[in-house]
Amino acid sequence: MSAARNQTLTNFYRALAGRIRHARYLANMSQARWARAVYEHEQILAALAARDGPRLSLILKRHLANKLEACARAC
């Protein structure tokens, strides 16, 4: 968050960090979900490195949808 250099965003994230950490833990309980999340993060990094905003947008939307689904099942 600090890399964004947005103090409002950083403060908001810090306020929610515990909840976020717990949700991430619950969402990645299965080995299959963990492997998928790692793959998704590799795709995110590749899109960032390529400076491909449209591709990054699609990957992030899919990643967050998968995270929401996993959290809903786990929580």
What backbone phi and psi angles, to 5 degrees, belong to 6? Answer: -125, 100
- pTM across the whole model: 0.63
Tokens (6 digits) for 50: 């390529």
**pLDDT per residue as tens digits for the range 18-63:** 887 787 777 767 788 888 889 999 999 999 999 999 999 999 999 9
CA distance 60 to 27: 16
> Would you tell me how many other CB atoms lie within 10 Å of the CB of residue 71?
15
Q: Looking at the 3D structure of the chain, how many domains does it have?
A: 1
CB 45 within 8 Å of CB 37? no
Domain that holds residue 42: 2-74
Task: Kindly tell me the sign of the dihedral angle through the C-alpha atoms of 32, 50, 62, 29.
Answer: positive
CB 74 within 8 Å of CB 26? yes
